[in-house]
Amino acid sequence: MILEMKGITKIFGIAKAVDDVTFTVGEAEIHGLLGENGAGKSTLMNILGGALQPNAGEIFIDGEWISEMTIHKSNALGIRFIHQELNLINDLTVFENLFLGQEISTPFGLLDRKQMIARSREVLARIKLDIDPLAMVDSLEPSRKQLVEIAKALLFESRLLIMDEPTTALTNKEVNILFDIMRSLKGHGLSIIFISHKMPELFAICDKYTVLRDGKFIETGFFKEITEQRATNLLVGRSIVDSALMKEDVRGDVVLRVEGLTCKRHFENISFDLRQGEVLAITGLHGDGRGELAEALFGARHVDAGTVTLRGQRLQLHDIRQVMKAGVGMVPRNRKERSIIKDLNILNNLSIAYFITKHNHFFIRRAEEIERFQRNQKVTNIRVTDPEDYITSLSGGNQQKIIVSRWLELDSDIYILDNPTQGIDVGAKFEIYKLINELAARGKSLIIFSSEFPEIYKIADRCLVMYEGHINAELDRDHLTEINIMLYATGSTKEEIGEKVTRDSI
């Protein structure tokens, strides 16, 4: 399919989400769409999918003008949108999900299970997925669910696939499977729009790129003609110093001691120390029990055994407020579900944790809240027009800065950051790294849960690698390499590898 979108403009309220954007995808082409969060990628794709109507602009498919794009029309044209969020229903089987809303019936009006199951088998085999069409979706790993979602798009005649960050939930192996599928689809003449934040992936799979920034078209071209650095600069619009931040040796006293922490079915016998001013990264692969450990350390999950002591005081792990008062703050993962209070304005979202432990007055004073906001705005560099707008009016990066500020207000000794840069743009990521370093320099201790090596390498003094619910390895800066992390995260043990694998030997 040849797609041309010309002069597309979409206005939400007073903001131009997409401003006079031109976007072209050729036949049998994998086209990377780049942009920070809030750059207008999703809006543009929703216009293409017919979910949003543009205020101005035209869409041509194979040179033919499409008068008014609707979801129905876009479907009929063979445009399939694979969303970032999973749209599968857990309580139905795989084949029922695949055919949901487009069931095949027998001449008597009953569901033709046989045919649907056979066709599901066919499509799953085509993309080399060994999933039983009769399996419950509930029983699948999240990454497999994502692949089922892709199978769903291929079930019916499709000519253009839109993939919105399809690799977020996938393991490296599955990413490779996905890329194989994409290449084979391309071989059959399909065009694919691939949205991703991950540069190596974009460079590996895409032919062409288009960059959007602040709703405007910036540049289009071939990936083979640019470097990752150049792509990043286009994306951010300013050149950021992306060198590793300076790390110094940490020699502070042990402030936090975790001993034998166990939470059945998730993690077992976790023990480690944390020093003052130290940044400790904890990493691993999906299903390693890392997320549950983060919750348990903050008192948000029931533990079966073990203790956490902060400066000799045992933490009351059954009560989040006690843990907060003792001096532990936590930025949870999944900002949208676990941090953002969407109906409260920016000021209140920032102040809410402060109210819990520090605010001792009966009434809330607006002036104080404004003052608190302005103080944090300087520290975390939040870009906001009106602090009394709903927090959902901000971009992902700025939302996360508000959430980080929420916890900075507590002036805790220990900060647990669970996937703190999830779904935020490169610029905001860098600002958060800077902040982490500043906090450590001020004597705060931080535990960062992350799965991204470049991130860990930038900020961590030490890294624990988890595998199936236990700590498989502890790596200091000298042994902190992507290969080491992958080895231990996939279950290799120190004995097998030996201590040979240092930075120098690779």
Partner 1 sequence: MKKLLATLFNGLFWDKIRLFTSKYSYLISFLGLLAVATIINPMYFSYINLSTLLLQASIKGIITLGMSLLIIAGMIDLSVGSIVALVAGLGVVVLNSTGNVFLTLLFCVVFGSFLGSINGLLVTKGKIAPFIVTLATMSAYRSIIVQLGQGGPFDIRSDIIPSFRLIAAGNVLGIPNLALIFAIITVIVAIIMARTKFGRYVYAVGSNEQAARLTGINVDGIKILCFVITGLLCGVSAFLLMSRLTSITAPNAGSAFELDAIAGVAIGGIAMTGGRGVIAGSFLGALMVQMIEGILIAARIPPFLNGLVKGIIIIFTVFLQRKKNTN
Residue 349 Cβ vs partner 1, minimum distance, rounded to whole Å: 9
The span from the CA of 288 to the CA of 489, in Å, is 8
The span from the CA of 22 to the CA of 212, in Å, is 10
Using CB under 8 A, which of the segments 68-76, 167-175, 324-332, 473-481 binds partner 1?
324-332
Sites for partner 1 among residues 259-318 (CB under 8 A):
298, 300
For partner 1, give the closer residue by CB, 23 or 373.
373
Q: Of the candidates 51, 66, 245, 320, which one interacts with partner 1 according to CB under 8 A?
A: 320
For partner 1, give the closer residue by CB, 13 or 109.
13
Q: Whose CA is closest to 140, among 93, 101, 177, 108?
A: 93
The span from the CA of 463 to the CA of 425, in Å, is 24
Find out whether 54 and 47 touch, Cβ atoms under 8 Å. Answer: yes
The span from the CA of 341 to the CA of 258, in Å, is 31
The span from the CA of 150 to the CA of 443, in Å, is 47
Find out whether 6 and 217 touch, Cβ atoms under 8 Å. Answer: no
Using CB under 8 A, which of the segments 65-73, 110-118, 190-198, 340-348 binds partner 1?
340-348
For position 406 contacting partner 1 by CB under 8 A, the verdict is: yes
For partner 1, give the closer residue by CB, 152 or 266.
266
Residue 154 Cβ vs partner 1, minimum distance, rounded to whole Å: 30
Give the amino acid at 322: Q
CB neighbour list of residue 442: distance below 8 Å, 6 or more residues apart: 277
Phi, psi of 21 (to 5 degrees): -95, 135
Residue 293 Cβ vs partner 1, minimum distance, rounded to whole Å: 15
For position 340 contacting partner 1 by CB under 8 A, the verdict is: yes
Using CB under 8 A, which of the segments 96-104, 255-263, 341-349, 494-502 binds partner 1?
341-349
The residues with which 283 forms a beta bridge, in sequence order, are 465
Give me the half-sphere count of Cα atoms (radius 13 Å) on the Cβ side of residue 184.
10
CB neighbour list of residue 8: distance below 8 Å, 6 or more residues apart: 18, 20, 21, 22, 23, 44, 47, 54, 56, 57, 59
Q: Of the candidates 14, 110, 241, 506, which one interacts with partner 1 according to CB under 8 A?
A: 14
Residue 335 Cβ vs partner 1, minimum distance, rounded to whole Å: 9
For position 51 contacting partner 1 by CB under 8 A, the verdict is: no
For partner 1, give the closer residue by CB, 210 or 357.
357
For position 11 contacting partner 1 by CB under 8 A, the verdict is: yes
For position 338 contacting partner 1 by CB under 8 A, the verdict is: yes
Residue 308 Cβ vs partner 1, minimum distance, rounded to whole Å: 17
Sites for partner 1 among residues 362-401 (CB under 8 A):
362-364
For position 355 contacting partner 1 by CB under 8 A, the verdict is: yes
Find out whether 194 and 206 touch, Cβ atoms under 8 Å. Answer: yes
For partner 1, give the closer residue by CB, 136 or 352.
352
DSSP per residue, 67-101: SS--HHHHHHTTEEEE-SS----TTSBHHHHHTTT
Q: Whose CA is closest to 300, among 260, 330, 337?
A: 330
| Number of chain positions touching partner 1 (CB under 8 A) | 30
Q: Of the candidates 344, 384, 486, 497, which one interacts with partner 1 according to CB under 8 A?
A: 344
For partner 1, give the closer residue by CB, 162 or 330.
330
Q: Of the candidates 51, 86, 341, 384, which one interacts with partner 1 according to CB under 8 A?
A: 341
Burial pattern 364-386, b for ≥16 Cβ within 10 A else e, equals eeeeebeebbeebbeebebebee
The span from the CA of 360 to the CA of 226, in Å, is 56
For partner 1, give the closer residue by CB, 352 or 384.
352
For position 343 contacting partner 1 by CB under 8 A, the verdict is: yes
Q: Of the candidates 183, 314, 318, 342, which one interacts with partner 1 according to CB under 8 A?
A: 342
Q: Can you give the binding site for partner 1, defined by CB under 8 A?
A: 11, 13-14, 298, 300, 320-321, 324, 330, 332, 337-344, 348, 351-353, 355-357, 359, 362-364, 406
